[in-house]
Amino acid sequence: MNLNIDAIKGQTFDAIVIGSGISGGWAAKELTEKGLKVAVLERGREIKHIEGYETAMKNPWEFDHRGRPTNMAAEEYWAGMRTGYTPAEEHRYLFENDKQNPYIEKKGGFDWIRAYHTGGKSLLWGRQTYRWNREDFLANEKEGVGTPWPIGYDDLAPWYSYVEKFAGISGQAEGLDVLPDSDFLPAMQMTAPEVHFKNAVNKKLGRPVTVGRVAHLTKPGKQHTDLGRSSCNYRNKCMRGCPYGAYFSSLSATLPAAMRTGRLTMIHNAIAAEIIYDESTQKAKGVRVIDQNTMESKEYFAKIIFVNAGAIGSTSILMNSKSNRYQNGLGNDSDQLGRNIMDHHLGAGASATIEGFEKDYMFGNRPNGLYIPRFQNWGKDKRSYSRGFGYQGGASREGWGRGVGADGFGAEFKESLTHPGQWTVGFGGFGEILPNPENRFVLGAQKDKWGLPILEFSASFGQNELQMREDMMNEAATMLEAAGFKNINAYNKQDTHIGLGIHEMGTARMGTSVKNSIVNKHNQVHEVKNVFMTDGAVMASASCVNPSLTYMAMTARAADFAVNELKKRNL
């Protein structure tokens, strides 16, 4: 008996955080720093910061296929192959094998790219970091689309600032309403043709162009160096893991901060199967997990639970948490669970070649590009579709790869490819996807190897996205023309799905009432108030800017609220 009580004690914490990715890391940091004993349940294997980045310092010739995925990898990573880069040899070890982790596409397609290990996709993200603007929070209500946000820019602004200072965001303040400035570290430089482009687009089209805002340390402060983080080394091999801790990740920043409080317990290989609901208290009392290796089932208990398993992961855990009270999934009185999958649609834009600038070159591999904020449906601009898109891209000089399509071979050809080639430039749009309740996933009848339901997706673009994509292509070409660039090649990739942006959002949206949504304005499941969701799942709309910063700010805000509520004995 004593043994049993000890075991339960060992499995009881003040708070449980499910997932150690970008939002789970923040939940762990904030809750431990506020004095709570926290267990982070990570479904994947343990990866240690620095030593775990097994390919980080490898030379190009140390990759057998020089980066190319093999036929075998292409079959195993079938969803990843659609991105064109995740199964590359240098960082494939950080992505999940799609055959081993199956999902089903019922209607349309959905690209579900997963990373099950310490830090999750925070090790792999694009690191582009933007605040939402005021209108982003108002658009649903103004247009009668989806459900109104119960929070606005002012609710998040102080938390944006708070997380930015800790994460370290490099960027240029521009004073734009459409793209509010962050608390910035020094901006990275633009190349000469990029400066030319910026000036031309600004002068001829009246559109601002700024350097990408990225979660890289360009000038670390004490709060960064205290955690062992240092400056960016401009290798641009970020996706292999950064041994310098120069870009923000759970491994480089939030988990070490949580660990130094002495109140963090990391539990790996623990797949959260369900949240255990206590019918008598009407609260959650813990989480049942399955060890991914031993299949052993185990329960952990806590006063509050933060669900940060990534949009699809978090929602599927709620769906799988069935009780007498919630037979259709925890907190799912609104039947909104699993609906309104969003992402940012991409694969439309333009590229070109640049004449001149022969004497301009650069030393170092900038892990960043340029950003063109949304200009559609903003101010006096009106389009045939609603919402809008931003562009990401930039200019660089060609390398030896230009030889593949060029004429010639032999000694002279060989020598010519050792020098930088001409400048080329390209921009692709990141467009907002509207919430649509029919874009959804459900628990399927088939089970995976852990006995958990395999997810079934139905998702496709609507007319608004398709119209926007035409514009994404055309406007990119217009801007390259305005800058006088040549050989403009405009494209609009047709065979693309929701999910390709790896910005999956929605499926447990935030809203004003239990009737229309899963969580309230404090990120609490409406009527199960000790369960918090603060990742992409809660997004009621998508904006067009990269989402991670908003998850960070929301998580810090919700953790602050949760701890205050605990102190007031409201939870």
Chain positions 313 to 372 lying near another protein, rule: CB under 8 A, are: 347-351, 358-366
Cβ nearer to another protein, comparing 67 with 221: 67
| 182 three-state secondary structure | coil
Please state the separation of Cα 512 from the chain's center in Å.
25
| 25 three-state secondary structure | helix
Sign of torsion over alpha carbons 558, 562, 563, 567? positive
List, in sequence order, the alpha helices (H) in 11-43. 22-33
Ranges within 496-525 binding another protein (CB under 8 A):
none
Ranges within 188-207 binding another protein (CB under 8 A):
188-189, 191-192
At 490, which helix (H) or strand (E)? strand 486-492
Q: How far is the CB of 81 from another protein (least distance, A)?
A: 4
Q: How far is the CB of 320 from another protein (least distance, A)?
A: 23
**Are 271 and 42 a contacting pair, CB within 8 Å?**
no
Residue 60, judged by CB atoms within 10 A of its CB (0-12, 13-18, 19+), counts as exposed
Cβ nearer to another protein, comparing 154 with 407: 407
**Are 36 and 259 a contacting pair, CB within 8 Å?**
no
Cβ nearer to another protein, comparing 86 with 249: 86
Pick from 108, 420, 444, 484 the residue near another protein by CB under 8 A: 420
**Other beta carbons less than 10 A from residue 414's beta carbon:** 12
Q: How far is the CB of 462 from another protein (least distance, A)?
A: 14
Q: How far is the CB of 39 from another protein (least distance, A)?
A: 35
Record the tokens describing residue 419, joined without a space. 């020098």
CA distances from 553 to 98, 129, 146, 529 (A): 31, 12, 22, 20
Pick from 488, 521, 560, 561 the residue near another protein by CB under 8 A: 488
CA angle centred on 384, ends 480 and 389, rounded to 5°: 50
Pick from 2, 418, 445, 569 the residue near another protein by CB under 8 A: 418
Binding of another protein by 477 (CB under 8 A): yes
- The span of 17-25, 131-139, 465-473, 540-548 binding another protein (CB under 8 A) equals 465-473
Sign of torsion over alpha carbons 412, 413, 416, 422? positive
**Other beta carbons less than 10 A from residue 199's beta carbon:** 12
Cβ nearer to another protein, comparing 90 with 136: 90
Cβ nearer to another protein, comparing 66 with 515: 66
Pick from 234, 301, 378, 561 the residue near another protein by CB under 8 A: 234
Size of the site for another protein (CB under 8 A): 84
**Other beta carbons less than 10 A from residue 34's beta carbon:** 19
Pick from 403, 437, 444, 453 the residue near another protein by CB under 8 A: 403
- The span of 172-180, 410-418, 447-455, 511-519 binding another protein (CB under 8 A) equals 410-418
Ranges within 78-137 binding another protein (CB under 8 A):
78-79, 81-84, 98, 105
Ranges within 546-565 binding another protein (CB under 8 A):
none
